[in-house]
């Protein structure tokens, strides 16, 4: 399945800023939405882009995901104007957005699902696109959404790998993880932080998770990793669980009655 692109270099600064404004306002308008899952085992992919697996609820703030569920004509228009065409044909793009579940949502507002509703939450190469305080808030909200004993898996560029590039003289390559050329660029693709395992462990434990562990590529408790994990050489993979004894706020309120 294709790795996310969607940043065509041919966009002018004007058209890029129009698309960014629509995405931002659509995020504001939809910030209170809640998706009620029907499946027994609920799996949520945050910042999915187009890197999806069957049966998952894919949450993304890109305008492409806003087209999901619409007619092939509308999805085709989005393909024509909002993708770089490098990874998928038009038909593949239409099929992907028609057959999978997408929720258009800005993750800076949290996770658009009810309390204790998800068994697995997965997020790959997306958390570092949020400012660190927003990423911390997102992890806390993901804990709210997970069922007790549920698992979160986070994949992010590995800061240790980036520094190792620099140390072995690959300066330009290392610096690309922090800085960009001046050409128009989707606001959702700006990187706002980078993490190593220790930082990620602190964030997860700070949010209330336990059993924080570093995982190998496509190894872990999370299902469908053969479809979801990508970029093995540059990525830090971490899993953590919602404590079994953790009780959501409703449980706590009920216990005090």
256: helix, coil or strand? Answer: helix
51 lies in the binding site for ligand SAM (CB under 6 A): yes
Q: Which is nearer to ligand SAM, 93 or 248 (CB)?
A: 93
Site for ligand SAM in 206-235 (CB under 6 A): 230
Closest CA to 45 of 199, 254, 187, 225: 225
- The CA distance from 102 to 54, in Å, is 11
State the Rg of the chain over Cα.
Answer: 18
Q: Which is nearer to ligand SAM, 48 or 151 (CB)?
A: 48
144 lies in the binding site for ligand SAM (CB under 6 A): no
Segments of the chain assigned E as strands? 43-46, 57-60, 101-104, 118-124, 146-157, 210-215, 235-241
Of 48-56, 83-91, 176-184, 197-205, the window that binds ligand SAM (rule: CB under 6 A) is 48-56
Q: Which is nearer to ligand SAM, 116 or 235 (CB)?
A: 235
106 lies in the binding site for ligand SAM (CB under 6 A): yes
Least distance CB 44 / ligand SAM (angstroms) = 12
Q: Kindly tell me which residue out of 48, 116, 117, 136 binds ligand SAM, with binding defined by CB under 6 A.
A: 48
107 lies in the binding site for ligand SAM (CB under 6 A): yes
Q: Kindly tell me which residue out of 26, 35, 78, 125 binds ligand SAM, with binding defined by CB under 6 A.
A: 125
Of 57-65, 161-169, 209-217, 249-257, the window that binds ligand SAM (rule: CB under 6 A) is 57-65
Contact 152, 243 (CB under 8 A): no
141 lies in the binding site for ligand SAM (CB under 6 A): no
Contacts of 4 (CB under 8 A, 6+ apart): 49, 50, 51, 125
Q: Read off the DSSP letter of residue 109.
A: G
Q: Kindly tell me which residue out of 43, 44, 47, 142 binds ligand SAM, with binding defined by CB under 6 A.
A: 47
Q: Which long-range contacts (CB under 8 A, 24 or more apart) does 12-16 make?
A: 12/184, 13/184, 15/184, 16/184, 16/185, 16/186
Of 87-95, 105-113, 164-172, 192-200, the window that binds ligand SAM (rule: CB under 6 A) is 105-113
- The CA distance from 80 to 74, in Å, is 10
Q: Which residues bind ligand SAM (CB under 6 A)?
A: 3-4, 47-49, 51, 60-62, 106-108, 124-126, 129-130, 188, 230
């Amino acid at each position: 399945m294709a790795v996310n692109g969607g940043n065509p270099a041919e966009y002018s600064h004007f058209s890029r800023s129009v698309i960014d404004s629509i995405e931002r306002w659509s995020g504001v308008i939809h910030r209170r939405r809640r998706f009620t899952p029907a499946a027994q085992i609920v799996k949520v992919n945050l910042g999915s882009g187009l890197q999806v697996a069957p049966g998952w609820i894919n949450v993304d703030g890109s305008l492409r995901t806003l087209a999901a569920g619409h007619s092939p004509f509308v999805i085709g228009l989005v393909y024509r104007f909002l993708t770089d065409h490098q990874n998928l044909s038009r038909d593949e793009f239409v099929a992907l957005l028609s057959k999978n579940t997408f929720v258009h949502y800005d993750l800076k507002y949290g996770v658009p699902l009810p309390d204790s509703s998800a068994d697995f939450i997965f997020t790959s190469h997306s958390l570092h696109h949020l400012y660190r305080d927003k990423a911390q808030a997102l992890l806390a909200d993901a804990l709210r959404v997970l069922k007790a004993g549920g698992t979160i898996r986070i994949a992010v560029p590995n800061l240790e790998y980036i520094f190792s590039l620099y140390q072995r003289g690959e300066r330009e390559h290392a610096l690309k993880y922090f800085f960009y050329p001046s050409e128009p660029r989707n606001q959702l693709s700006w990187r706002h932080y980078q993490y190593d395992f220790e930082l990620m462990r602190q964030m997860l434990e700070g949010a209330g998770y336990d059993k924080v562990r570093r995982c190998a590529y496509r190894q872990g408790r999370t299902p469908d990793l053969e479809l979801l994990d990508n970029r093995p050489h540059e990525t830090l993979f971490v899993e953590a669980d919602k404590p079994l004894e953790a009780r959501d706020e409703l449980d706590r309120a009920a216990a005090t009655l």
